[in-house]
Amino acid sequence: MIMQGKKGLIVGVANNRSIAYGIAKECVNEGADVILTYQNDKLKPRVEKVAKELEVKNIYPLDVSKPQELKALKESIEKDYGKIDFLVHSIAFAPREALDGEFINTSKDAFNIAMEISVYSLIDLVRTIEPVLNDGASVVTLTYLGSSRYIPHYNVMGVAKAALEASVRYLAVDLGKRGIRINALSAGPIKTLAASGIGDFNEILKYNEKNSPLRKNVTISDVGKSGMYLLSELSSGVTGEIHYIDSGYNIMGMPLYEK
């Protein structure tokens, strides 16, 4: 029970296929008390279902583009839980048309939306929640290899993930004053709601499965276990890092071929 006695906020559960759900489940299995949010009324019933399964006491609304909801979330946590020990940011968004076709055609609007929802939200969330984080708390965000390599159709989201990873390094220094750690998990491709917006995603999954050292795609449970490691004392001393869980796709110099 590595997470026994720990309380944490996990932002980014849309349903039971979400990476955030994988992390929440592993944390709960190890004894954590988890707080969830839902983006809007459409997703609320699905998050309620997850909350019931994981015996989560409270879920709160949070659309990161609405500052009043973020402020209300911090106040609710303070009132209902006091201080918490961990925070997970597992959200990203870019308009669908920016995730297909050529990167050169990215519009200014799509660029700004991707950066606001996928990058600025981390800074805003961490700054707002920081007063209710215990000293020594741990923060985790989710990134992808498209930050540093060309991945077909990932386009503006690759640029956003590069900015997200840089933000992790800068936040690590600010939060380090209170012994608070922050790291990014770089997950391999997984079929989720967000991933369904990326062009040819099934082809990416097939390629990854064939060309990774473990010859398989990762699952939300694989990501969940690494998330739990980064949120727990097991990783004390680890901060500002990008932790890869992608069957090593990033280490392959050229595609595998097997007879």
Token pair in block for residue 119:
């990058």
Our finding on whether 51 is near ligand NAD (CB under 6 A) is: no
Our finding on whether 113 is near ligand NAD (CB under 6 A) is: no
Burial of 72 (0-12, 13-18, 19+ CB in 10 A): middle
Smaller CB distance to ligand NAD: residue 221 or 236?
221
From the candidates 154, 229, 244, 249, which is the catalytic residue?
Answer: 154
| Stretch in the footprint of ligand NAD (CB under 6 A) among 59-67, 76-84, 132-140, 207-215 | 59-67
Token pair in block for residue 129:
């929640």
Our finding on whether 14 is near ligand NAD (CB under 6 A) is: yes
Give the number of other Cβ atoms within 10 Å of residue 254's Cβ. 6
Our finding on whether 91 is near ligand NAD (CB under 6 A) is: yes
Residues 6+ apart with CB under 8 A from 195: 189, 201
| Stretch in the footprint of ligand NAD (CB under 6 A) among 27-35, 51-59, 85-93, 165-173 | 85-93
Our finding on whether 183 is near ligand NAD (CB under 6 A) is: no
Smallest distance from the beta carbon of 179 to ligand NAD, in angstroms? 26
From the candidates 144, 229, 244, 249, which is the catalytic residue?
Answer: 144
Catalytic annotation present for 60: no
46 neighbors 15 (Cβ within 8 angstroms): yes
Residues that bind ligand NAD (CB under 6 A): 12-14, 18-20, 39, 43, 62-65, 90-93, 117, 142-144, 187, 189-190, 192-195
